[in-house]
Structure formats: structure tokens, C-alpha cells
Amino acid sequence: MSGTREISIRDISPGLRQIVVRDEALVSIYSWDYFDVVGETAILLPNPPPPVPAESVQCKWISNGIVHLSGTHKTEENGEIDIHLSKFVRCLEHLTEHLWHSFMASWPHFIATAESALPVFVTCTIGVAPVPPPTAEGRWDPVEGLDVAVKVRSWRHDGAPAPHVAFNWIAIAKRTTWSGGSTELP
């Protein structure tokens, strides 16, 4: 999964232990090249002082691409609003007349920035659920699609909900497709 950190520890020989810190992130160069970047730092812990950590970076191209969405919304009277990201992705397929259906395939990176002259904060929670196959025939490529909804909340400086706060947002996630069967979306 993109945006993760893993730490592993293993004994190499008596008196020598290796610690590996592995970070993974989704990186974009221009608007058409997307990479899943993996950085590893290996630290050897012998009895003498440890050496300088060795770092390596492995990059792999995501052949299926990513979904990059952005928009502007406003919270409601209760200081909340739900944004259904999957609906935007499905709308793009209608507009571009593709012969396959695109869906989000990973937990999105979501950033929201409030537009306000008053001190307010915006926070979010993300909900993800598997998408049922859109047609009886076909297949997911490379992984199953996800239905993604984000609840954004706006807060005043005292912790009370802040109603009607405008904000801009950006969401980035891996993309998957459903191919085969009918090209009509329900």
C-alpha cells in the first residue's frame, strides 16, 4: 500500500542485528508519469558503533495510472459534508467515452484547505468499501475497485463546528479498471 512505513529487525549473525526501515509513497512527475517509490534504510548494529545507514530507492511504474481529483466544497450548517470521490471518477468515464470503467484502487491521499478570514480548521475521515463488479462479465485490472467517501468537518478555534466553511481539496489514489462486458455504466 502506498504511503506506508514498515520496520523489520533480524539477527544476521551473533552480535550483529539489522534494522530495515521501508517507506513507500505515490509520487507524480508531470501529470502523466506516476511512480510507486520505495525507500529503504538498512542499519547494522554491531558491538562497535553503528556505521552510517545505507539507503536505497526502488521505483516501479504504475502501469494503470492514478486518479487525481480536486475540487471546492462548502460544509453544511452542522459543519460537515460528505464527498463521494468514486462518483467523480465514474463521471470521467462518461465524459471520455472509454471502453472500460475506472475506479479508485487504494486509500487516497486527501488534503483540504479552508478558505476563511476567520480562524477555522478542517479535518477529514475517509471511508473505503469494495465496489461490486459493474457488469456480469469482465475482470478487475490489476486489483478490485474501491468506493471512497470522505467526510470533511470544519471547526472553530474553540472546537465548536464551523458552518458554511468553503474549502479546496485534492485527492490522489491508485487507479484500477473493469474491462469486458457492457461499456454502459449503471
Closest CA to 68 of 34, 100, 99: 34
Written as nine digits, the cell of 135 is 457488469
Average of per-residue pLDDT values in the chain? 78
For residues 18 and 9, the answer to whether their CB atoms sit within 8 Å is: yes
pTM of the shown model: 0.66
Query: If DSSP codes are grouped into helix, strand and coil, which group holds residue 152?
Result: strand
Q: How far is CA 77 from CA 27, 115, 153, in A?
A: 36, 16, 11
**Per-residue pLDDT, 43:** 74
Number of domains in the chain: 2
In this structure, is residue 185 part of a structural domain? no
Of 61, 83, 105, the position where a domain reaches its end is 61
| 184 domain-assigned | no
Contact (Cβ atoms closer than 8 angstroms) between residue 22 and residue 8:
yes
pLDDT per residue over 122-176, tens digit each?
A: 999 999 999 887 777 778 877 888 999 999 999 999 999 999 999 999 998 888 8
Domain span at residue 88 reads 66-179
Q: Is the pLDDT of residue 117 over 60?
A: yes
In the predicted model, is pLDDT for residue 1 greater than 70?
A: no
DSSP bridge pairs for 156 = 120
Is residue 72 located within the same domain as residue 96?
A: yes
Condensed to tens digits (0 to 9), the pLDDT of residues 56-90 reads 666 655 555 778 888 999 999 999 999 998 888 87
Report the sign of the C-alpha dihedral through residues 88, 83, 86, 108, in that order: positive
* More reliable by pLDDT, 122 or 42: 122
Same-domain pairing of 147 and 88: yes
pLDDT, position 49:
52
E-strand stretches of the chain: 4-13, 16-29, 33-45, 54-61, 66-74, 80-84, 101-104, 109-115, 120-130, 139-141, 146-156, 166-179
pLDDT of residue 27: 62
186 within domain boundaries = no
CA distance linking residue 120 with residue 35, whole number of Å: 34
Q: Are residues 51 and 94 in the same domain?
A: no
Residues 129 and 47 in one domain: no
Residues 96 and 141 in one domain: yes
